[in-house]
Structure formats: C-alpha cells, structure tokens
Structure 1
C-alpha cells in the first residue's frame, strides 16, 4: 500500500508507508488540475475537504489512480463537509449531505474513514464507511487529570458523551446542558444546566465541532455561575470561524485536532491526528 496526501502539510499517517507525490495547480479558467508521481495496487488517500477545489482534487486524483492501474482505493476524510446540512428545512433547499455523499460514493472507495462525524445520516448515506470516534482525543487530553466533570453542551451531544464516559470508565456525574433557540432568528435564548453547584471542579465540554462558538460561550457562562473551576472545550473539529475574541473571555482552553487547520495559539491546542489514529 502507498499513501497519497492531497492536503499540503497534512499527513495523518506518519509511518514507513511510502507516499505518492503529487502536484496540483489551477488552469487559467479556474479549473483545478492534479498530476501524480507514481501509483500502486492499493492506495490510501488523506484529504481535508475545506473547499470545492479540494473536493474536485479528490475526484481527479481517484480518476488518475484508476487510469494508472490502482485496484483498491480508500480515503480518510477527517471532517466531512455538509454533515450539518442533513435535512431539508424549507422547500427549495437541497439535501446537501446526500449530494456530498453521492460524489464520494461515485469514487467506489474500498473504505471511507471519517472522524467523529456530526450526523449519523452521513453514515447511512456513505458506502463502505468506517467511523473513527473521538475517544483517543479525549483520552489524550484527560490522561493526567483527576476529579473533573464531563459536560454535554446540548441534547445532540448527549448520546456520544454517554458512550465516551463508558469507554473512559468515568464514574462521576455528566453535567447536562440544554439550549432553547428563538425560532425567528436561530439565536440561543436560554441555556439550562442540571446541577446547581459544581464544587469548583474543572469542567470539560465535549462536542464534535466548534464553529462560531456561541453555544460553548453560553454554556461556559452558566457553568461559572455554578462554581465551576476551569472550563475547557474538547472538540474534534475546530473551525473557529469567528476567531478567539469571544471564546477567550469564557473558555480557559480549547483542545482540538488538525482535521481542518493547523494553527495553534495560547487558547487553542491542536493535537495531530497522526498521534490519535491508526488505520
């Protein structure tokens, strides 16, 4: 087997496996192009699909490999685009995750590895899909810590956190939060917490994605009202689309992976997926 890493600087399989080199560029009309420096019977592709060019580059790479005689191709897509667009809210909108999965399925992959995907709808739509959980990330962050609390930021995260707590042999209470949105504008009106006194314990909010971070800021505010110690966030995919300005006032630290980007800061630690996964 050989590895083809399509995203510059992203190599989640740092090992003795030989890598296929590639070059890509844009034609004058804006079309992305790729040229591979070799092939193999079995190839594992890794890629961050951060924009449409990345998606097209993956499709082109698969075609180039097939034309070079590659028989078996698998792919690791750590952050699956459109996983949050898993339903049609109003007439006239697409079912975006189905469109994305249809594109990936068209490649005929032997395996499609995804990391802590947002929606189970994705798993139903992707063929030959294998989900990698966030267990190793959370275990790495908490390995030297004692007397802490796990926090579920909303109902959507609850099922995953119960499974995670069982895998970690965590025996303390899980702090359950919930949010109420204003249906007219989507903004969070209220966040509830099921405990009144957190006894100064450090709290770790766990979820799959941090985009703007409004939910986590709201949860952190409520936790600190209830005598929480430090409030940290463990998220598999750190988008941080609004930067750190609001987060830094309420979140003591953020632990995430390099599934989307590499940037680190005093607030954000990105743990390499090469240290967390083994396929």
Structure 2
C-alpha cells in the first residue's frame, strides 16, 4: 500500500463534468470526500494558457483528467502545462487520464511526406513529466507502444454490452453486430462475443478522402436489429451511409454504439435526419447542447469505470480486471442498467 493518503484529481477545461463525476464516484468508493484540486486553468489575451494550483501537492499521487478533444491543440497544451506545474510542485507521480486521445488517427504514414502525429504527441506527454497514461479505446492499439511509460487502455465494449443487454433484453435473438469497415472487425467481434450475437461487416471503398465510392454488406442482415460499433464518429457521413445500406439490405432497425462522439460539422443534423434509430456515445468527450438535445443520441457514462481504474492504479491492483463485464456489472449496478 502506498504511503500517500488519497489519490488527488485535477481537471482541465476539456471535460469538467466528467472529472466531477469521477470524483463523486471515487468519493462513494472511498467513503470520504474526494474533490478536484483547486486550481485555475485560464488564458491570457493572446490565448497563452496559464495554470496555477492553489493546493499543496508535494508528494501526492496526481491524476490529471483531460481528454484532448476539440479544440485539440488547446486541450493538449492545457494537459502539458498542468503536468509541468505539478512536476515543479514536487508531485510524487503524475498520471494523465485521457478519455479521448486526440491525434490518434495519425498513427502511421498513410502516404509520402506525412507525419506520425500520434507519436509526436506521445513524446510531448512523456517529456512534460507524466509517468502513466490512462485512456479508452485508442484508435489503434499500437499507439500504446509510442509511449515509453505505462499506458492502460480501457475498453468501452463492456459498458456497451451492459447497455445492449438492458435495451434489447427481450430481442437479443434478433440483434446483429456490424463493423462499419474491415479495420474495425476486431472491435465489433469483441462486442458480439460479449452479447452472443452474430457479426456482419460493411466494406467501404474510397475514391478519395472524405468520399465513399461504394459500400458492400458482408453477411445476411435481413430481419435483424443491426448495431454498428466503432471507436470514433466525426462528421457521421460514413455512419449514416452505412445505416442506409443496412436498411436497404433488409435490416429492421439500425442502432450505433460509438465510444468517442467527436460529432463535428454537420454530424448532429445528419444523425437526426438519418434512418438510424439511435446513436449511443460515451461521455469521453464533453457533449455540447445540440448533442444533448438530439432526439436519437444517447450518452452513457464512463465515470464509474474511470473512477475504479484510478483507484486500482493508486492501489497497485489490476486495471485489466475492468475489461470483464462481470467486474463492471456491480460498479454500474443501480445506476443505469439495473
């Protein structure tokens, strides 16, 4: 057991509601109040970021909760500067809790003379003094290897499985999990195994970036309630088109479960007007008002999982135990899926 009395949480501006929810859940687990460390993270007139921590953090086990979502550069700089402030204040250990890891889609050189920005961001995080990263559903698993520090990558599929088993409890025989592309088959297969459902694939071919030339359904989806599963939904063009193609192939309903709802540009309007019956996203990215008020978008919480993962890291116990639905069921019991 560490000599540190309690873990301490600090949050940037990227997703303060999630940070507050995590602190509340940890307080319930510990039986004492665990609040966010009092600090200010603000900008000068020229948009320089300034951080000041008002509490003593010397020798403390610090957890910075900060997804690097839109605006990605501002939120990334907040994370780096908060880490520097804590390191210079003699914090014993600094863990970055990054529910959504921005720049993850730039994980390889897709063509000549392009960067691998995910590796650059990983280098910056390590150099800032962060000693461990806790994240969820990295776009590519190999990004963990970009860091020279431990990286714990949680998965949303156990949360999604609990939600699906609740929402479709009398219709599980009609459910089919669908991967929206060949690259996401492993993720879709994982969820399909958890709910004991068959798997189909939508194969898409692009003429150029941002345009989808052709979509083919691999598998028989006729008469099925299709659940599309993916890690990121940005402009929702591919997702809405995939839903249309599935309905054309005989699906009775199409639902989507997406970990990170980036939902930029026309995404909300597209989803609202699409044939999709529902889109479920996690709160890894703070949802603006248009997303919250969209009639067919629903948000499921990640705070119980992150709270338990932070406590496990602090205690020096297993984080991978949270990969199992059986472990998460009591954590979520009575909250959303009773």
- Taking structure 2 as the reference length, the TM-score comes to 0.76
SS of residue in 2 equivalent to 1:149 = strand
- Asked whether 1:267 is paired with 2:267, we answer no
Q: Secondary structure at the match of 1:100?
A: helix
Deviation at 1:276, TM superposition (A): 3.9
Whichever structure has more strand as a proportion of its residues is 1
The reply on whether 1:133 has 2:149 as its aligned counterpart is no
Which residue does the alignment assign to 1:29?
46
Q: Is the 8 A contact 1:86 1:122 kept in 2?
A: yes
DSSP-derived class of the 2:104 partner: coil
Deviation at 1:110, TM superposition (A): 3.2
Q: What secondary structure sits across from 1:61 in the alignment?
A: helix
Deviation at 1:136, TM superposition (A): 2.8
State whether structure 2 residue 258 is matched by structure 1 residue 235: yes
CA distance in 2, matches of 1:125, 1:57: 21
The match for 2:203 among 178, 197, 200 is 178
Partner of 2:64: 45
| Matches of 2:85 and 2:249, distance apart in 1 | 57
- Where do 1:85-96 residues align within 5 Å? 85-96=106-117
Query: Take 1:276 and 1:206, find their aligned partners in 2: how far apart are those partners?
Result: 19
1:169: Cα distance to partner? Answer: 4.7
Once residues 256 and 84 of structure 1 are traced to their aligned partners in structure 2, the CA distance between those partners, rounded to angstroms, is 18
Shift of 1:61: 1.2
Query: Which residue pairs with 1:119 in the alignment?
Result: 140
Conserved? CA contact 1:137–1:236, under 8 Å: no
Contact 2:187 2:229 (C-alpha < 8 Å) held by counterparts: no
In 2, Cα distance between the equivalents of 1:70 and 1:48? 21
1:65 aligns to what SS in structure 2? helix
Distance 1:29 1:149 in 2: 51
**Matched position secondary structure for 2:246:** helix
What is the correspondence of 1:1-279 to structure 2 with a 5 Å cutoff?
1-7=7-13, 8-11=16-19, 12-13=21-22, 14=24, 15-16=26-27, 17-40=34-57, 41-50=60-69, 51-126=72-147, 127-144=149-166, 145=168, 146-147=172-173, 148-166=175-193, 168-170=194-196, 172-183=197-208, 186-199=210-223, 201-241=224-264, 242-248=266-272, 249-263=274-288, 264=292, 265-277=294-306, 278-279=308-309
How far 1:59 moved relative to its partner? 1.5
Report the Cα offset of residue 194 of structure 1: 1.9
Task: Point out the structure with the larger helix share.
Answer: 2
Per-residue CA deviations over 1:61-114 (Å, capped at 9, x if unaligned) read 112112222111111101111110112234433221111111111134332011
Give how far 1:182 is off. Answer: 0.8
Q: Secondary structure at the match of 1:244?
A: helix
TM-score (norm 1): 0.91
Aligned length: 275
Which runs of 5 or more residues in structure 2 are unaligned? 1-6, 28-33, 310-338
Distance in 2 (alpha carbons) for counterparts of 1:169 and 1:79: 25
Q: More displaced, 5-14 or 115-124?
A: 5-14
Contact 1:116 1:208 in 2 (8 A): yes
SS at match of 1:240: coil
Deviations 1:8-51 (CA, angstroms, capped at 9, x unpaired): 33315232234211112212332110111214311111012232
